[in-house]
Amino acid sequence: MLKKKYLILVLFLSIIVIGCSKNQINNDKYYYSESNQEIFYSEYGDDSNPQILLIHGLMGSSSSYNYIIEFLSKDYKITVIDLPGHGKSNLEIKFDVTNLSKVIEEFIEKKFSTPIILVGYSLGGTIINEIVTNSNELTSSIIFLDPWFSNNSSLDSLAFKFLSVVEKNAKNSWVAPEDSFKHIEKMSTKLTKEQIELIGNNRLNYDLKIWDNSIQKETLIKDSEYPIETPSLILKPSSSLVKESQIKKLSEKYSSLVVKEIEDTTHMFIFEKPEKISKLIDEFIK
CATH assignment of the domain containing 84: 3.40.50.1820
Please report whether residue 145 resides in a domain.
Answer: yes
Please report whether residue 49 resides in a domain.
Answer: yes
Please report whether residue 169 resides in a domain.
Answer: no
Please report whether residue 126 resides in a domain.
Answer: yes
**Distance between terminal CA atoms of the chain?**
53
- pLDDT band of residue 205 (cuts 50, 70, 90) is very high
Structural domain tally of the chain? 1
Please report whether residue 211 resides in a domain.
Answer: no
pLDDT tens column, 45-65: 999 999 999 999 999 999 999
Please report whether residue 223 resides in a domain.
Answer: yes
Residue 223 makes CB contacts below 8 A (sequence gap 6+) with 253
Residue (of 217, 264, 261) closest to 236 by Cα position: 261
Boundaries of domain holding 55 = 14-152+218-285
Distance CA 279, CA 192 (A): 21
- pLDDT band of residue 162 (cuts 50, 70, 90) is confident
Average pLDDT, the chain: 88
Please report whether residue 175 resides in a domain.
Answer: no
